Amino acid sequence: MTVDDHDSTGDDAAGDGSLTTEETFALVGDEVRAEILRALSAERGGEGELPSLSFSELRERVDADVRSSQFNYHLQRLVDHFVENRAEGTAQLIEDVVPSDDDGYALRPEGTTLTRTIRARTGTGEGSLDPVAVGLDCYHCGTAVEATYDNATFVLQCPDCEYLYEYDLVPPGILDGEAETLSRAAEYVRHVRLAFARGVCPLCGNAVDTSFDPPGETGYPRPDLRAVCVNRSCDHCGHRNYLKVGEALLRDPDLVSFCRERGLDVTSTPIWELAFAATDRDVDVRSTDPWEVALEVELDGETLELVVDGNLAVVERNYA
């Protein structure tokens, strides 16, 4: 199975707003610099003012055997990009001069984001989840749908017809027994989907572009069971996500209230348990030039139809 889906990196994306991607990778690629960031990240937490470490404290935690001048060189490479020197008016010091310990060093917001991302995406050991039934029968063939987790990827798929419900890069923090893992995965996937649905990249906060793609061109298995794929992509960090039409409309206030009034809370129900969001069975592509796609949601004998244009804007709302 090949899915050209969620995470990639744009070659021209800047790291922290002042460095190119290549410069950023080179900057944090050194072992001493990486350890400096790790040590400052480990110091964060608790209450009160954000903590800092003096030069001597930081050097001791990273590697006391590194010469002061060498350690200072690596530290100053990170200052103003990922690390803040809290001594006001202090110039960058090099060679054998040891910086003042008065105010110390702390992570800048860019450094915090970088280290949090690394810590969230890594852990001890290789986390995995063997195939486990999620309590859902496939909407297409009736076979019990299974979830797996391996190589930081959460997959929800029918083992019989191979219809793919979820394929997401998910941090290993979700792993905590079968039931808890599924619950956490559902919430994490919802967070990512709704951010993309709102037009915001959940990774970098940039606005995302929108296109409607033929299922056969996406790499998804069983494209014959899909009507259209909504491609939300970020041209800054390269992150993207293929949404089903129902997923893209999960935050629509009329849809939320229509379902809630009939006993269905779409804000807490796992997306894969919402047939209109997990499949294209209720999707009708009315036009491709320009794009006009209708989603029909039926509950208790009543129907809400939402029609979107090529920008995912709702242009019609019909009740029956």
Give me the DSSP letters along 229-260.
Answer: EEEEE-TTT--EEEEPHHHHTTT-HHHHHHHH
Residue 175 above 60 pLDDT? yes
Residues 106, 204, single domain; the answer is: no
Give kind and range of the element (H or E) at residue 225.
Answer: none
Q: What is the pLDDT of residues 72-90, one digit of tens each?
A: 999 998 998 889 888 754 4
Instruction: State which of 97, 121, 145 marks the end of a domain.
Output: 121
Residues 114, 187, single domain; the answer is: no
> Is residue 275 classed exposed, middle or buried when 0-12, 13-18 and 19+ CB atoms within 10 A define those classes?
middle
Sheet architecture: strand order including 144-150:
129-137, 144-150, 153-157, 164-169
Instruction: State which of 103, 121, 139 marks the end of a domain.
Output: 121
In a domain, 133, yes or no: no
Q: Supply the pLDDT for residue 101.
A: 46
Q: Give CA angle at 180 (178, 182), nearest 5°.
A: 70
Q: Domain tally for the chain?
A: 2
Q: What is the pLDDT of residues 88-116, one digit of tens each?
A: 544 344 334 444 445 689 888 888 888 87
